[in-house]
Chains A and B, each alone.
Chain A
Amino acid sequence: MNAESLTDLWLAYHSTVAFIGLNGLLALSVYATLSCGQLSLAQAGFMALGAYASAILTLHTSAPFALVLAAGALLPALVAVPLGLPVLRLKGVFLAIATIGFGEVVRIFFVNLDYTNGALGLVAIPQRTELWTIYAALAAALFVLWRIRGSRAGYALEAIREDEAAARTMGIHASAYKLSMVVLGAALAGLAGALDAHFNFMVAPANYSFARVVDMLVYAVVGGTTLFYGPVVGAAFLTLLPEVLREVGGRVGLQPGPVRLFVNGLVLLLVILFLPNGISSLPRRVRRWLASRRSAAHAS
């Protein structure tokens, strides 16, 4: 193996690892609102706001990167308040549609904004994101979600997810909790957007389409939303899957193109069909299966 292919390998590996982290953050941002039972699909819009805000700061000021990232998280979090107040009155599919609308409004706003070069977007953004920055952000997000679990607020969120009206008659201020989680989700999406912008050198409206939100949602669902780290597992799995199929599939003679996409879709379908609580529920399932086998062996 020559030096050039080693460098290639590193570059490929490096960006895959980065994308796992970024997609993990995005999956957590969807999970934040899912954790109290709300399907909000505004995440691509929040991501765009964070990406553009941070890119503009980097291109036009000499602000330190930490400040740029903070701004990227803060702007969408602030926008989430006036957005969340009215739309959280909606439930289920109506909430989903209203938040998709918001995402599209943001995207079309940037398509038409001359200041950021419209549909072409901003280019030549200095690469300031390192692998460790991404994973530090991911670790911080996981830490916060981990500490919320099992707290008074964590139980309130679970209660709202299970039965919102019953939760309210227990004295839980459901709309305040839901709004907090929308704000947290917006901050995470904005942070991921800012990190992404400074990793890929560019931001363009096409990166923040509806398809992007669907990807995030699929990460969360495939990974599982009953455990707080499930969405990250899902993001890692689905980001790696095409890479693994390329490597392994190439060796076993799997042709590139439609066949590989088919396998990708098949794996997704199998997970959803047979692991309704996501990949992250697999260890528990295996343990339970082993335990039941053991007790069956004892009985016979």
Chain B
Amino acid sequence: MLLRLADVRRTFGGLRAVDGVGFDVDEGEVHGLIGPNGAGKTTLLNLVSGLIRPSGGAIALEGRRIDRFPSHRIAALGITRTYQNIRLFPALSAAENVLVGSHLRREDPLWKRMLFLPGYRREEADAMQWALSLLSRVGMEERASERASNLSYGEQRRVEIARALASGPRVLLLDEPTAGMNPSEVASIAGLIREVARAGHSVLLVEHNVKLVMDVCDRITVLNFGKVIADGPPAAVAADPGVIAAYLGGEG
């Protein structure tokens, strides 16, 4: 088990946004997290990435509790993410955004840079090369020097995925990576997610596009009102009467 959530809870005032959620993400698995609006999906990603702390329960990476760690430590342990409302650094170029994403895998040559010692240029050139290789992985190498704020919506999403991959995470958290995309862009994101999983990263995917989730996920967890209402392979989840009721309304 790579990532394990056990009885994770988070309340905001009287609202139980996440109410006793538990599931596992295996090595190299694409794990879908779906549910109606307000089901607690994004809150769950915020909990896993350490932006907020759980009110109860445990989150463990390879058996090690991470739910009290600050987010930079969680990133260092191998969990990075993208955001539903894209959060690139707007004033930086696409390549610089990915360079920031590779912060963890770079050595810090600042003192060498201060003293003009050999080695720092090499390190910087290597880091830039790595950033460009990630951009080409998401098909964005031609826009590398464009300011992030000048990129189209779909391009920004791709750069954000490259940035999250740049540290070489064990688990990649994707928060609605295809929101606002057209069908051909969605198809290419689906291909990208499969490729990322093949490269050995586990993916926890929050997504509204049911077809995409059914296509790329090995396993799906369905949330409703902060609780898990179904968990299993795509076909089983799609046939679950509780899930159908939650999505279509009516009595479960």
Contact = CB atoms under 8 A, between A and B. Distances in A.
Contacts of A155: 92, 96, 99-100, 103
B48 to A, nearest CB: 10
A287 interface: no
B89 A169 contact: no
A125 to B, nearest CB: 32
Interface in A146-187: 147-148, 150-153, 155-156, 158-159, 162-163, 165-174
Contacts of A248: none
Contacts of B109: 151-152
A147 B91 CA distance: 20
B163 A170 contact: yes
Interface stretch (B31-39, B55-63, B79-87, B183-191): B79-87
Contact of A147 (B92, B103, B110, B127): B110
Chain A interface residue count: which class? 20 to 34
| Chain B interface residue number, banded | 35 or more
B76 interface: yes
Given A168-B71, A169-B49, A173-B72, A159 B89 contact: yes
Interface string B120-163: 10001001000000000000000000000000000000000001
Contacts of A158: 89, 91-92, 96, 100
Interface in B190-226: none
A144 interface: yes
Contacts of A172: 72, 100, 103
A225 to B, nearest CB: 12
Contacts of A162: 89-92
B39 to A, nearest CB: 22
Nearest to B114: A147
Nearest to A173: B72
Contact of A171 (B83, B88, B103, B110): B103
Contact of B100 (A148, A170, A173): A170
B112 to A, nearest CB: 9
Contacts of B72: 168-174
Contacts of A168: 50-51, 70-72, 75
A165 B110 contact: no
A171 B96 contact: no
B234 interface: no
A289 B164 CA distance: 37
A153 B99 CA distance: 11
Nearest to B148: A162
Interface string A18-30: 0000000000000
B87 A166 contact: yes
30 contacts: A147-B113, A147-B114, A151-B110, A151-B120, A152-B109, A152-B110, A153-B110, A155-B100, A156-B100, A158-B96, A162-B89, A162-B91, A162-B92, A163-B89, A165-B71, A166-B83, A166-B87, A166-B88, A167-B100, A169-B50, A169-B72, A169-B74, A169-B75, A170-B75, A170-B103, A170-B163, A170-B167, A171-B75, A171-B103, A171-B104
Given A156-B103, A173-B72, 4 more contacts: A153-B110, A165-B51, A169-B50, A174-B72
